[in-house]
Amino acid sequence: MTGKTPKEHLKVNAAEITEKEMKQVMIDSTVQEKNITFPTDAKLYRKIVDRVLKLSEREGIELRKTYTREMKSLKLKVRFMNHPTRMKEERKAVKRMRTIARAMVNDIARKMYAFQLQQYGKGTIGDGINPPFRFFRMTVRRVHYTRM
């Protein structure tokens, strides 16, 4: 409604509404739940690993290890983290996920050629950390330091 009162808006958009109907308005206040979850450390690490795998497939790079089975088992360990006897196990799993994410980012950054790196940003191997992997590395570090 652009600056109009509800009464003016209804008069413009619906000519058949009577004055009596204008006094009582039905409002539907239904709220629909959204599928939004909090970005936990484990979810961010999984996202990094998934993106590195997709990037390696797209560029035709063979990684030393894909860690798919291990990530699957770690995901299950993290899932039941709120149980009192599983908290220590969960912390170890998240730590291992961080290690895997770092290893995969370093592996793919090492194996990419300069022309492949330039597709994802202006950086080259000589620039230190190249732009596509700066995001991965910053996320890995940021998640680690916010946890402590």
One DSSP character per residue, 26-55 reads ---------------HHHHHHHHHHHHHHH
H helical segments located in the chain: 6-13, 19-23, 41-59, 68-79, 87-111, 114-119, 131-147
Q: What is the pLDDT of residue 4?
A: 63
Over residues 85-103, the mean pLDDT reads: 91
DSSP code of 83? S
Q: What is the pLDDT of residue 112?
A: 83
Q: What is the pLDDT of residue 148?
A: 42
Rounded to whole angstroms, how far apart are CA atoms 121 and 94?
Answer: 30
Rounded to whole angstroms, how far apart are CA atoms 37 and 11?
Answer: 42
- Does the pLDDT at position 24 exceed 90? no
- b/e per residue, 64-96, with b = 16+ CB within 10 A? eeebeeebeebeebbeebeeeeeeeebeebbeb
Over residues 25-42, the mean pLDDT reads: 78
Burial of 143 (0-12, 13-18, 19+ CB in 10 A): buried
- Does the pLDDT at position 125 exceed 60? no
What does the domain layout of the chain look like in residue ranges?
A: 41-147
Rounded to whole angstroms, how far apart are CA atoms 110 and 83?
Answer: 39
pTM, full prediction: 0.63
Convert the pLDDT of each residue in 35-56 to its tens digit.
888 888 899 899 889 988 998 9
